[in-house]
Amino acid sequence: MQITLMKGKIDRASVTETDLHHEGSISIDRELLDAAGFLIGERVEVHNIDTGARFTTYLVEAPRASGTVDLNGAAARVAAPGDRITVVAYATFEEAEAKLFKPRVVLVGRENRALRS
């Protein structure tokens, strides 16, 4: 049996910019991507804490230590700069592996810096 679990999440990041005319995706600071164990191009769900909106997109790398969390393309219509979001990735595991797996959770503070992971 295969089980899908949360692989990791970036919790309470603030949207820094939206660009409707950019290719669709979410651009996130490389430090946050590394802390969460996310890969470039990985599919993620984005949950807008302020509005309740949820959508799926893929990850694009933003410069390390930039604090960037930008929504691009159609996602730019689902949140505004300053909105707080949670970005979640999932992975599929065999049952035995799932019982041992520990997800990476990155809590984000001011200027989109990791408070803890």
- Per-residue confidence of the chain (117 residues) as pLDDT tens digits? 899 999 999 999 999 999 999 887 999 999 999 999 999 999 999 999 999 999 999 999 999 999 999 999 999 999 999 999 999 999 999 999 999 999 999 999 999 999 977
- Closest among 79, 82, 86, 78 to 108, alpha carbons compared: 86
Does residue 58 have an active-site annotation?
A: yes
Q: Give the CA distances from residue 85 to residues 49, 56, 90, 92, in Å, rounded to whole numbers and listed in that order.
A: 5, 13, 17, 23
**Which one from 14, 27, 58, 117 is the annotated catalytic residue?**
58
Distance from C-alpha of 76 to C-alpha of 70, rounded to nearest angstrom:
8
Q: Does 25 qualify as catalytic in the annotation? A: yes
Amino acid (one-letter) located at 81: P
Out of 25, 27, 66, 90, which one is annotated catalytic?
A: 25
Give the Cβ contact number of residue 48 at 10 Å.
19
CATH, residue 10: 2.40.40.20
Count how many domains the chain has: 1
Range of the domain at 51: 2-116
